[in-house]
Amino acid sequence: MKGEVYHSRIEEIYPDHLVVAMPMSKGYPVMFSKGNIFYGKVIFKGSAYQFSSTLLEKKVYPLPVWVISEPHNIKQIQQRNFVRIDARLAVNVQLVQLNDFPEPMDAITRDISGGGVLLILKRRLYNGDHVKLEINIPTCASIRCNGQIVRVEKPQEDVMVYWTAVRFTEIMESDRSKIIQYVFKKQLERRQRGF
């Protein structure tokens, strides 16, 4: 999908049309004519969907909005990249081995996203290893999920610490949504503080 990308939000939903905030570009309304077709993307319960719609009408009162046709040609699309943020969260890690479950390990996250986590571990694990994780997210219950190690780095030769990248392989979409909400909340807080 090529072309300009603008951001909006759904304001109201009706049986045959939607009302969305008027997209803006550099502080000005996007120039778009009635009857034109466009593509949209929306994220719902952790999954992304692409759709087609038509601009039916523009309104400026009480808020500047577009009235658009009911979305059609809806299809789920792969979310390959999740927004990642530096965060220090406590994690309980358990290595999954054939017929063997070693003692759990304590770890701290270096960063986290809806797709995975970078752990700081004192024990070396290896690419392809499977792990069970319990991640403590502030303001919500711990999240339990499964993952696979995709990268291991040793940042300093003389320190027994390993940066261990884990891709989530089994996670409830409601839990993934909690992580994504946490990431966006932290981003917003940092922007407000000027970071």
User: What are the DSSP calls for 141-187, one per residue?
Assistant: PPEEEEEEEEEEE-S-TTS--EEEEEEEEE--HHHHHHHHHHHHHHH
Percent of the chain with pLDDT over 70: 91
Range(s) of the domain holding residue 161: 85-192
Determine which of 87-91, 116-120, 171-175 has the lowest per-residue pLDDT on average. 171-175
155, two tokens:
């940042």
pTM score of the predicted model? 0.58
Looking at residue 100, what is its pLDDT?
63
For residues 96 and 118, membership in a common domain is answered with: yes
Looking at residue 99, what is its pLDDT?
63
Q: Of 54, 77, 100, at which residue does a domain stop?
A: 77
Number of H helices, E strands in the chain: 1, 15
Measuring CA to CA, how many Å separate 1 from each of 52, 62, 78? Answer: 12, 33, 13
Q: Decide if pLDDT at 101 tops 90.
A: no
Tokens 């046709």 identify what position? 69
In a domain, 3, yes or no: no
Mean pLDDT of 114-122: 92
CB 49 within 8 A of CB 39: no
For residues 150 and 93, membership in a common domain is answered with: yes
Looking at residue 91, what is its pLDDT?
95
SS3 content of the chain, % helix, strand, coil (to 5): 10, 50, 40
Percent of the chain with pLDDT over 90: 41
**Is the peptide bond between 71 and the residue preceding it cis, with omega within 30 degrees of 0?**
no
Mean pLDDT of 63-77: 88
131, two tokens:
């792990």
- Comparing 140 with 15, which gets the higher pLDDT? 15
For residues 57 and 95, membership in a common domain is answered with: no
Q: How many domains does the chain have?
A: 2
- Comparing 76 with 21, which gets the higher pLDDT? 21
Q: Decide if pLDDT at 68 tops 80.
A: yes
